[in-house]
Chain A
Amino acid sequence: MRKLQLFSAHGGLETDDLRRKGHPSLVEGIAFALLRLSMLLVIAAIFFIFFDIFSKGIGIISWEFITAMPRRGMTEGGIWPAVLGTVYITLITAAASVPVGVFAAIYLNEYARKNIFTRIIRLSIRNLAGVPSIVYGLFGVALFVRALELGTSLLSAGLTLGLLTLPVTITASEEALKAVPDSFREGALALGATKWQAIRTNVIPSALPGIITGMILGISRAAGETAPILFTGAAFYLASLPSSLSSRFMALPYHLFIMSTQHHSIEKVRPIAYGTALVLIGLVVTMNMSAIILRAHYRKKMRG
């Protein structure tokens, strides 16, 4: 079949201006292949990392490993104190950041005018999100450990991590609140409810799944952080489990850090380090996954 010829009756393009017909398609083919290659490289890198940690860590994972205490200067035994410590610190972080975060989100979405004050708040949130975690650590040391004299403790570290996760919590809660249609609010007000009643009884309950999702994502990040807890309460070896808010504690990320950089017999504890890494990743990924599944589930529900 004859390919379409170009008319040049009115001189828009003349045939001799054009390259060989196949040229642009060839370029497109190569370009798209390169794009695909980039994506594959990224995916390959991710898989490589996960595979390595999984394969080398799985060998040492067992119920005993997770629940037993370490022995012989960490070269044997389990990592239970670190697991427990991470759980504790995560709970405290949640307690510190979720209420303030949700309330701040409520302010921004339900009460705030659109003026310079609000813009400054939002700007602050975005900037706080970008502050390096070690700077939060510095702040935590100066404020909680020293000025407020809370010392190196679960409380100091938890409050520090709470500050770190605050921007995430606020942003996620605000998204959840925004998703609640205005008709919910208007309906309640039209029935004579006060503003706070409307929010409490209508808006928050329907935004709750989104808020919880944001909370889980925030604290899963906190669980993996090391820098903020380095000097506010984490320790490598403690004889006993943390007994109160003012105890120091062990934590998985810190444990992994010391095991791989400063331990006196690094080679020997390498398998334990891998195991720790695997447990940590497992924990964080599980939390992330559940948050995402929860969000998808409630989105479907909302659409009815």
Chain B
Amino acid sequence: MLIPSLALWGVLEESSAVEFCLREPYPALFPHVLKQKGGLFLNRKLETAIAYFFTLNGAFVIFILVGIFALLLSSSFAAWQDVGFISFLTDRVWNPSGFVASHFGIFTKIVGTLMVTAGAMLFAVPLGIATAAYLAEVASSWEREIVKPVIELLAAVPSVVLGFFGIVVFSPLLARIFNLPNGLNALNGSILLGLMSLPTIISIAEDALTAVPKEYKEASLALGATRWQTLSRVIIPAAGSGVTAAIMLGIGRSLGETMTVIMATGNALQFPSDFFSSVRTMTATIAIELGEVPADTTHYYSLFAIGFVLFSMTFLVSLLADIFLHRAGEVKKL
């Protein structure tokens, strides 16, 4: 028993994988103490084991991401074997239990998702950036003290509550204003999703605006520009990458939202004709049908395939946001 354990210790110590993952502990201080043999021998092994343990925890995150990806992909393949990848994406009809033939086309749902997201951004981006600009440059400090917590409050509201609000208040309101039978449609969903994305957009855009070096502001004002000219012509352009990242993250949030859209958009299966139509998003489809679908059927796998499409979209958006945030960090080089 002793010999394999010692062998394991040996592996741990010499493993170059460990070298790869871990840095020397604060090398400047007493490195010779840690390299000493004898009294500290076991301590060093323990330390390495502990370090290895933490490394595993860190790597766990990668496992999860890869795991989700693999699961979705493999289920999607199972679905696409039956349905065909192209037809999955382009068929307008979703009718898994159709009498004559079953259709697994998610095109309508992709359109639905894109519609509510686009609508949400139309609503949230101007309002969000304007509010962020106001907070960063125009607001007095007491205004900021009050407004920022209120926006945090909005960020804390669970999506189901906003969806509820959409049903009880917004839907009758929209129905009355626009003379509709009910107010559960893409417009309703868009506005609510916009509200949900506002805190994200506002806080990241505001960070980007305040990070612009104040030397730019001084130079602009010293040239005789007004505060508004400085804001619109120097500060906002200089914060461009950060603001774009904010929008990307807002989009990501809207794409992936489930409960609010289920409750507010009506979930009709037909191809929407305009923003007053009821739409069904990809997220809604999964949420509505996963409960009833028998396991391991094409229908079941198709839902996972929808999940895969969603995952890819949000992955892409996240990546783009990362790139822009990275670029935003470069503005600080003054």
Contact = CB atoms under 8 A, between A and B. Distances in A.
A38 B159 CA distance: 23
B258 A111 contact: no
Interface stretch (B80-88, B211-219, B221-229, B269-277): B221-229
Contacts of A43: 147, 150
A144 to B, nearest CB: 12
A35 B151 contact: no
Nearest to A217: B156
A112 interface: yes
A196 B47 contact: yes
Interface stretch (A58-66, A67-75, A76-84, A99-107): A99-107
B283 A38 contact: no
B154 to A, nearest CB: 5
A260 B262 CA distance: 11
B322 A139 contact: no
Contacts of A131: 68, 256, 311, 314-315
Interface of A is mostly: helix
A288 interface: yes
Interface string B38-63: 00000100110011011101111110
Interface stretch (A24-32, A207-215, A242-250): A24-32
B268 interface: no
A220 B317 CA distance: 25
A111 B54 contact: yes
B152 interface: yes
Interface of B is mostly: helix
A202 interface: no
A34 B130 contact: yes
Contacts of A52: 165, 168-169
A224 B159 contact: yes
Interface string B121-165: 000001110110111001100000001011111101111111111
A59 B310 CA distance: 41
B259 A41 contact: no
A128 B22 contact: no
B263 A257 contact: yes
Contacts of B210: none
Contacts of B304: 138, 142
Interface string B287-299: 1001100010000
Interface in B76-110: none
A121 B310 contact: no
A263 to B, nearest CB: 12
Contacts of A274: 168
Contact of A135 (B55, B72, B162, B232): B72
A83 to B, nearest CB: 15
B152 A261 contact: no
B153 A285 contact: yes
B130 A130 contact: no
A294 to B, nearest CB: 14
Given A132-B314, A134-B283, A39 B131 contact: yes
A123 interface: yes
Contacts of B138: 32, 35-36
B318 interface: yes
A92 interface: no
Interface string A109-137: 01111010110110111111111111111
B193 interface: no
B107 to A, nearest CB: 19
5 contacts: A39-B134, A42-B198, A123-B322, A138-B307, A141-B290
Given A132-B310, A189-B29, 15 more contacts: A24-B229, A35-B130, A38-B131, A42-B151, A53-B161, A106-B57, A107-B58, A112-B21, A112-B55, A113-B20, A121-B62, A139-B72, A166-B64, A189-B26, A227-B287
Nearest 6 CB-CB pairs, A to B?
A224-B158, A132-B256, A107-B58, A38-B130, A28-B228, A103-B57
Interface of B: 20-23, 25-26, 29-30, 33-34, 43, 46-47, 50-51, 53-55, 57-62, 64-65, 67-68, 71-72, 75, 126-128, 130-131, 133-135, 138-139, 147, 149-154, 156-165, 167-169, 195, 198, 202, 226-229, 232, 249, 252-253, 255-259, 262-263, 283, 286-287, 290-291, 295, 303-304, 307, 310-311, 314-315, 317-319, 321-322
